Structure 1
Amino acid sequence: MVRLVPEDDLRELKECVDLTVVWGDGKIMCPWHEDVNPSLQIYHDHVYCFSCNTTADGITLAQILHEFSFRQAFSWLTKYKGQRKREGHQPLAMPVDIKDTWEWTRKLEKAREWKWLADRGLGEWIIWILHIGWTGRAFSIPHITDDRVWNVKFRVHPDYQMNGENKYYSMKGQPFRSLYPIDYVKSYFQDSLGLFLTEGEFDAMVLLQAGLPALSLPSGATSNILKWRDTLTKYKVVWLCFDQDSAGQKAAVKAIRRAGPKLLPTILINITDPFWPAAWGKDVTDAREQLVPKIKESYDRLIRLQ
């Protein structure tokens, strides 16, 4: 393959051209689908469509909008180099406006894919209050901290998942600011002595729906839970509800051995066999019918000690 533009020149262009100078700091009509309202958000170094989930760089967008070849798009964008210097470090993507998450939620109301969530034990109330939505191929799970959306996790529906594609992905360049869903737990379980920590958002939703205080790790069981020390040490007991597979249980054991002593006086307890037989299901969602009543018993005992 012939390289049209030297790699160093291409890297320099992407670093020195602010796309908000080229197309404005806002949303435009998306060229990748039939847009009714502007849904393609322009960021400093890339663009993202909140309707069709397309992410692209400036050269790709210029090619499509202006029918340029790759070299023409590169040459056209070079005239914008250095026109607005960034002040300090800027995130690769700005926080999502909460109204965008409501747009996805409204789409979910009319989507047949709603049944997939219902089959996983989730009811309307928990879905609405947590702003779960539908993009057209994935469920959107906004991570909200202090009433502000900092990132959005997406779960691709099995019917739309391509070979080799990850089930989950999130918005480029945005760090997760808290465990999920921190605002909800602060509102409804402010004085709780205990917390159930799960690998995934849907597992936490199942427990929250049952009236149990639960938060999930943004990056799953591989997360360093000490990152969330300030949150976890507010509780006397934190139950680890990690998946009942090798990866999940290794992560739970590692968390207790390495993080446990640094979280004292908070006690970490791993919920696993025999309390949670693997035959019930690999994760909280799959095992919910048998597991949730037993978890509630443990939580109720802690409440009685309060």
Structure 2
Amino acid sequence: MAITPQWKDELRARITLSSLVQRSVKLTRAGREWKGCCPFHDEKTPSFYVNDSKQFYHCFGCGAHGDAISWMVDNQGLAFMDAIKELAGIAGMEVPAPDPVQAKKAEARASLIDVTEAAQKFYVESLAGPSGAAARDYLQRRGFSPQVMREFGFGWAPDDRQALPRALPAFGEDMLEGAGMRASNEAGERYDRFRGRVMLPIQDQRGRVIAFGGRILGQRDGVAKYLNSPDTELFDKGRTLYNLHRAAPAARQSGRVVVVEGYMDVIALANAGIADVVAPLGTALTEMQLEMLWRMVEVPVLCFDGDAAGQRAAMRAITRALPLLGPMRSLAIVRLPAGLDPDDLVKAQGARAMEDLLARPASLIDALWEFERDAQPLATPEAKAGLKARLMAHVETIADPEVKSLYRRELSDRFSAFAYPPRPPRPSAPARRGPWKGAAMPPPGLSDEARGRLAAIMAGAQRQGLLAAVLGGLARYPGQIARHAEALSALARHDRGAAPFIESLFELAETLDSRDATAICTATQGQPVPSADTRYAFLDEGTDPDAACEELAEAVSLLVERPALEAALAATIARFDSDPEGSFAEQTRLRTQLMAVEERLKAFGRRKAAPVAGTKDTA
């Protein structure tokens, strides 16, 4: 039997993590958690927390994070199986007997590591020998220091099809091929996979050599510039990040991990003193690699070349990451100047220039917006509609409902601001008197039904209910209707009573020039100025229009969030019988959010202005 995830979950559940940590770290109670000075870096103010209920420790200073098993490995220095055995003894559990098949595979992997370690030693010796002169000259021209060359294990694969069997006679052809060091052609001839290349070892998280990357010297027709080992029992390129074993400790100190496009970029930055850098191995970032990065920091920084290929690589990474986003779990994007890779930038402008770029990355949503906005010309309404369709298609891939909702709102706002830019105001038409009791009449072209509804909106706005006030505010500033169209549509679905008024607002927005923020309902057009005790500033004639529109946006958000949460809560309660545990957890989360919205509603009403005497907000 193998050690399954379920067995490890039971092991963690039987261990009180704080008791385990307190064997070597002094902890004090901090609410439901424990805190102390982090054992992974020097600090005087405690930033290391242990949460027994969630079964993890986390340092807000260096980013160290893990569970009981990782604590025994990272802090106590035990091998994984030794950590499992010690924890099982504490928990009173039997360690499962090893699966014979898995045990045989583990033995085979250990033997293959002997092959790759021996090959690495051979390549290093070859670099120092007569055949490695050209490679040494190349590395010297690249400016790599002797220390960096030793640390990263540069070597040289002689241009010889049979060098490895002669150099490593202790290993048979099957082992050499199983480790990815040898290949065979259709005629059955076996030969060294790496020939005439500067070699770099690829290591796992424990620093063991599991594969190689090789760069050819000069130009050869039909020969790849870079060549990596194939996937083997040791090496899965989609589950490996180059330099992770060095970058992880550095990332705990810096609170950052940087992802570049290739291993030579990693070494160039290490040569410049930037150590918290990793790279994928010839492929776009995979879901597994993203998970590995998020275990180190909440927002890894992806650094791409400034050319079109770098932009496409950034977009592939963003597309891969979107379904996996969550609270405090995102990416940041750095684009280098056009035509420069990290090595070029450091050589031309110094390490400080690179650090300055890494200190000012774009957020994932900024990078997504800019890429899609600039992807094609947007000279026609159809092209602009295509931009919105692409943005919303990306949003739909996000699994976390809260993040998805926030992305939809943010990208919708950006699209509205882009597609409907402000225009210079037009001269106001003379006010038309009518059944609006002295206020300016709605413009020609509105249906009689919409005109009546808008009159009701303006009459109800002064009664201070939040819904009536928001509708009145949008009638006062019709240029804001398009900005909040999606939110208003959602409100109409949740509040059928508000739907006819919202439809009239949409009709108003279509009839008016939507850029004219004072088309109706202003004092200059005949509407009386509201009294000084108006509760909402966006209904007060004396409020600056920009400030009024911002307050109106906040009011729309509050108005829409509550019915949406109430609908979600009702749906969650309805599925309690079929999924009691999941339903209960979801109800708890939604009720917490609903309470937060209620508090925001109360604070919003108190903050804006004193309520009208004798009235009560019925939002």
- Give the TM-score normalised by the residue count of structure 2: 0.31
Aligned to 1:269: 332
**Cα distance between partner residues in 2 of 1:150 and 1:94:** 8
Cα distance per residue 1:35-83 (max 9 Å; x no partner): xxxxxxxxxxxxxxxxxxxxxxxxxxxxxxxxxxxxxxxxxxxxxxxxx
Give me the identity figure in percent: 25
Larger strand percent: 1
Aligned to 1:133: 155
**Cα distance between partner residues in 2 of 1:144 and 1:121:** 23
What is the letter of the counterpart of residue 128 of structure 1? R
What is the letter of the counterpart of residue 292 of structure 1? A
Aligned to 1:278: 338
**Cα distance between partner residues in 2 of 1:270 and 1:229:** 14
Query: Residues 245 and 215 of structure 1: is their aligned pair in 2 closer, same or farther, counting only changes over 3 Å?
Result: same
Q: Secondary structure at the match of 2:257?
A: strand
Query: Residues 152 and 268 of structure 1: is their aligned pair in 2 closer, same or farther, counting only changes over 3 Å?
Result: same
Aligned to 2:125: 106
Mapped pair 1:97 → 2:91: no
Asked whether the equivalents of residues 290 and 321 of structure 2 are also in contact (C-alpha less than 8 Å), the reply is no
Asked whether the equivalents of residues 240 and 289 of structure 2 are also in contact (C-alpha less than 8 Å), the reply is yes
What is the letter of the counterpart of residue 284 of structure 2? S
Query: Residues 119 and 239 of structure 1: is their aligned pair in 2 closer, same or farther, counting only changes over 3 Å?
Result: farther
Paired residues in the alignment total 206
Aligned to 2:211: 151
The 5 A counterparts of 1:33-182 are: 94-95=112-113, 96-110=115-129, 111-112=132-133, 113-136=135-158, 137-145=196-204, 146-158=206-218, 161-174=219-232, 175-176=236-237, 177-182=239-244
The 5 A counterparts of 1:19-38 are: none
**Cα distance between partner residues in 2 of 1:140 and 1:258:** 30
Aligned to 2:252: 190
Q: Secondary structure at the match of 1:190?
A: helix
Aligned to 1:214: 277
Query: Residues 135 and 258 of structure 1: is their aligned pair in 2 closer, same or farther, counting only changes over 3 Å?
Result: closer
What is the letter of the counterpart of residue 332 of structure 2? I
Asked whether the equivalents of residues 242 and 248 of structure 1 are also in contact (C-alpha less than 8 Å), the reply is yes
What is the letter of the counterpart of residue 267 of structure 1? S
**Cα distance between partner residues in 1 of 2:154 and 2:268:** 13
Asked whether the equivalents of residues 197 and 240 of structure 1 are also in contact (C-alpha less than 8 Å), the reply is yes
Cα distance per residue 1:232-261 (max 9 Å; x no partner): 112133222223322221110231244146
Aligned to 2:548: none
Q: Secondary structure at the match of 2:300?
A: strand
Q: Which runs of 5+ in 1 are unaligned?
A: 1-86
Q: Secondary structure at the match of 2:252?
A: coil
1:205 alignment partner, one of 267, 272, 283: 267
Q: Shift in Å at residue 267 of structure 1?
A: 3.5
Asked whether the equivalents of residues 232 and 263 of structure 1 are also in contact (C-alpha less than 8 Å), the reply is no
Q: Shift in Å at residue 166 of structure 1?
A: 0.7
Query: Residues 139 and 263 of structure 1: is their aligned pair in 2 closer, same or farther, counting only changes over 3 Å?
Result: farther
- Give the TM-score normalised by the residue count of structure 1: 0.59
Q: Secondary structure at the match of 2:198?
A: strand
Query: Residues 153 and 162 of structure 1: is their aligned pair in 2 closer, same or farther, counting only changes over 3 Å?
Result: same
**Cα distance between partner residues in 1 of 2:360 and 2:308:** 29
Mapped pair 1:235 → 2:257: no
**Cα distance between partner residues in 2 of 1:130 and 1:201:** 10
Q: Secondary structure at the match of 2:254?
A: coil
Aligned Cα root-mean-square deviation (Å): 2.8
Asked whether the equivalents of residues 197 and 214 of structure 2 are also in contact (C-alpha less than 8 Å), the reply is yes
Cα distance per residue 1:7-42 (max 9 Å; x no partner): xxxxxxxxxxxxxxxxxxxxxxxxxxxxxxxxxxxx
**Cα distance between partner residues in 1 of 2:271 and 2:280:** 18
Larger helix percent: 2
**Cα distance between partner residues in 2 of 1:187 and 1:88:** 30
Q: Secondary structure at the match of 1:179?
A: coil
Mapped pair 1:288 → 2:346: yes
Bigger Rg, structure 1 or 2: 2
Query: Residues 144 and 210 of structure 1: is their aligned pair in 2 closer, same or farther, counting only changes over 3 Å?
Result: same
Asked whether the equivalents of residues 141 and 153 of structure 1 are also in contact (C-alpha less than 8 Å), the reply is yes
Q: Secondary structure at the match of 1:101?
A: helix
**Cα distance between partner residues in 2 of 1:143 and 1:258:** 24
Asked whether the equivalents of residues 199 and 212 of structure 2 are also in contact (C-alpha less than 8 Å), the reply is yes
What is the letter of the counterpart of residue 166 of structure 1? A
Asked whether the equivalents of residues 120 and 286 of structure 1 are also in contact (C-alpha less than 8 Å), the reply is no
Q: Shift in Å at residue 115 of structure 1?
A: 2.2
**Cα distance between partner residues in 1 of 2:260 and 2:280:** 6
**Cα distance between partner residues in 1 of 2:250 and 2:197:** 28
Once the two structures are overlaid, the 10-residue window that deviates more, 130-139 or 97-106, is: 97-106
Runs of 4+ with deviation above 4 angstroms: 87-91, 298-302
Aligned to 1:223: 284
What is the letter of the counterpart of residue 198 of structure 1? V
